[in-house]
Amino acid sequence: MSGRIAAPPRAQVARLKQQLHATAMHEAGHAVAGVLLDIPLREVWIGYQKHGWSSWSVVGRTETVIDGDEPPPGELSTDDLNDAILFVWAGLEAEAMWLEEQTGVRLPAARRTVASVSVHQQGDLAALRGYHKDRRARWPERRAQDVARQLVLTRRDRVEDVARALVERGCISGREVHALVK
């Protein structure tokens, strides 16, 4: 995790507060789905990242035990492929749900906003495009979003617990996530 968390100036921290909470919900959605789908987690983190001299953003990642060694979608078992689809959608849906509640924006607009906001969402969406091209995908894209949203909604309290821990501490282990969810 070294190098991911830096301390921006106080004025930047205040400006990034909403982004920090949105990213925490996003990563918490992935993490809770990971526990529910029996995807082993290494750690979940969020933090600030500096771009250039004075620009800051919030970044995060939910690291699985097999990160870096994941086979391409065509080499995943059918069950693992469909779990991966739900795992990725759960982060996007948790963030969209948070945005919907914070701003009153309706779900379709919240989903579009989340999909266009930042680099880590773009990485999630690129992974999903690859997964959904596989004919073994259980659900079409829109249905997968809805299934992931239900997964997040059924454990909403746990998603919020994980997000709160992320905002407070920046990083939590897979074991800690498991303890918060189960």
pLDDT higher than 60, residue 56: yes
Cα 135 from Cα 174, distance rounded (Å): 31
The pLDDT score that the predictor gives to residue 71 is 61
In a domain, 155, yes or no: yes
Higher pLDDT, 98 or 4: 98
Residue pLDDT, tens place only, 59-81: 899 998 866 566 665 677 888 88
Whether the per-residue pLDDT at 94 is higher than 80: the answer is yes
The proportion of the chain whose per-residue pLDDT surpasses 70, expressed as a percent, equals 88
Cβ neighbors of 41 (< 8 A, separation 6 or more) are 31, 34, 35, 62, 63, 64, 65, 173, 174, 177, 178
Say how many Å lie between the first and final Cα of the chain, rounded.
25
* 3 domain-assigned: no
In a domain, 89, yes or no: yes
Q: Inform me whether the pLDDT recorded for 2 exceeds 50.
A: no
Residue 3 has pLDDT above 50, yes or no: no
Residue 1 has pLDDT above 60, yes or no: no
Contact call for residues 62 and 27 (beta carbons, < 8 A): yes
- Total structural domains in the chain? 1
Within a domain: residue 1?
A: no
Q: What is the pTM of this model?
A: 0.87
Query: Looking at residue 179, what is its pLDDT?
Result: 96
**CA distance linking residue 143 with residue 82, whole number of Å:** 12
**Which CATH number do you get for residue 17?**
1.20.58
Mean predicted confidence (pLDDT) in 129-134:
76
Position with higher pLDDT, 135 vs 20: 20
> 103 lies in which domain range?
10-181
DSSP SS3 for 76 = coil
**Is the residue at 95 inside a domain?**
yes
